[in-house]
């Protein structure tokens, strides 16, 4: 944020200085969550996650002045980020189709717990096998902790549609990953 | 429907376990202190660069346009183009002329300035329909 701080000391007007200050604070508050969400939306590609998050912040920076109130800005920001993740996913699909499969993503060196690679691949494949709508809302609500209403605003869908996607996503994952959540034993008297 | 009904879906114990396991097996990419600094600095540079270029199309969107343009230039027999493709010459046009016009359309798309509007343009959809005809 040094460039932004230099802007405060340069020719920026009072309004611009205020905007820079708010943007820096906004980035500090949302950076980690944005990168984390982007990483899950693009299938664990950590480099892409940071790129997607930065692109979303740039877009938010451009239109920071038109918003009133931080709550609406954060929802809109995550909507931008989800759109950026969609762009990246389509780009990757194009590239894979014409240039061959991409190399497997390296393990995140910062990961504190390294899950079984085979199991992780299986779960990743199951989640990536969901439809785009199902995958997005599943990640937003069940992995990232957004409410259903927030997920609806972020993805531009109705609350009912989000609930439907969540229901179908869980049904699909249950079918693929039933062994991860074995059915409880029924007590017999 | 109450506000609370829309907040969080209620899950069965089995689904709670499944979701928890998925969350564990797909951990979030966490930034350490060093990585946070790197991300901040990269963001600074990106904003300065974009501001200097007049906020033109960049990043993954431009890369996709470039990839698609190269693919069109390199391909042999053209794929059929859907009737409702955004910009495409008629099927009777000579192959070279058709390829040139398709590439021009892609390059024009690349030069379009990013719109700050809330509904972002679906550049990738247009490109995909050009390349695959649907």
Per-residue pLDDT in tens (0 to 9) along chain A, 189 residues: 555 544 444 444 666 777 788 888 889 999 999 999 999 998 888 889 999 999 999 988 887 766 656 557 788 899 999 999 999 988 887 887 776 655 555 555 555 556 688 888 899 999 999 999 999 999 999 999 999 999 999 999 999 999 999 999 999 999 999 888 765 555 555
Please judge whether B46 and A95 are an interchain contact, meaning their C-beta atoms are less than 8 angstroms apart. Answer: no
Please judge whether A58 and B50 are an interchain contact, meaning their C-beta atoms are less than 8 angstroms apart. Answer: yes
Predicted pLDDT at B56? 57
Measured in whole angstroms, the distance separating CA A51 from the mean position of its chain's CA atoms is: 12
Chain A 18-57, residues with CB within 8 Å of chain B CB atoms: 27, 31-32, 35-40, 44, 46, 49-55, 57
Contacts of A71 (CB under 8 A, 6+ apart): none
Structure tokens given for B39:
């991300």
Spatial separation of the C-alpha atoms in residues A114 and A96, rounded to whole Å:
27
CA distances from B26 to A25, A34, A164, B23 (A): 28, 16, 23, 5
Whole-structure pTM value: 0.66
Please judge whether A59 and B116 are an interchain contact, meaning their C-beta atoms are less than 8 angstroms apart. Answer: yes
Is ipTM over 0.85? no
Residue of B nearest to A182 (CA): B14
């Amino acid at each position: 944020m040094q460039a932004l701080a230099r802007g405060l000391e340069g020719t920026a007007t009072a309004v611009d200085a205020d905007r820079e200050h708010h943007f820096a604070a906004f980035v500090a508050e949302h950076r980690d969550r944005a990168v984390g969400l982007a990483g899950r939306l693009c299938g664990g590609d950590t480099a892409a996650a940071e790129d997607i998050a930065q692109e979303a912040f740039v877009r938010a920076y451009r239109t920071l002045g038109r918003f009133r109130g931080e709550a609406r800005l954060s929802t809109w920001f995550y909507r931008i980020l989800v759109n950026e993740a969609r762009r990246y996913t389509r780009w990757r699909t194009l590239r894979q189709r014409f240039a061959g499969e991409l190399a497997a993503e390296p393990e995140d060196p910062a990961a504190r717990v390294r899950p079984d690679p085979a199991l992780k691949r299986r779960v990743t494949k199951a989640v990536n096998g969901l439809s785009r709508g199902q995958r997005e809302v599943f990640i937003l609500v069940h992995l990232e902790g957004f409410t259903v209403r927030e997920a609806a605003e972020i993805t531009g869908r109705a609350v009912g549609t989000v609930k439907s996607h969540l229901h179908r996503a869980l049904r699909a994952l249950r079918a693929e990953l039933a062994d991860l959540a074995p059915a409880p034993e029924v007590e017999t008297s | 429907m109450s506000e609370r009904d829309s907040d969080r879906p209620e899950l069965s114990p089995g689904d709670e376990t499944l979701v928890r396991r998925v969350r564990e097996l797909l951990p979030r990419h966490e930034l350490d202190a060093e990585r946070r600094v790197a991300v901040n600095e990269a963001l600074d540079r990106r904003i300065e660069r974009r501001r200097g270029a007049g906020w033109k199309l960049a990043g993954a969107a431009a890369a996709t346009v470039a990839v698609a343009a190269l693919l069109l230039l390199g391909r042999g027999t053209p794929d059929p183009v859907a009737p409702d493709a955004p910009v495409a010459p008629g099927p009777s046009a000579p192959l070279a002329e058709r390829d040139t016009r398709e590439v021009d359309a892609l390059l024009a798309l690349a030069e379009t300035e990013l719109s700050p509007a809330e509904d972002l343009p679906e550049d990738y959809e247009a490109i995909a329909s050009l390349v695959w005809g649907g």
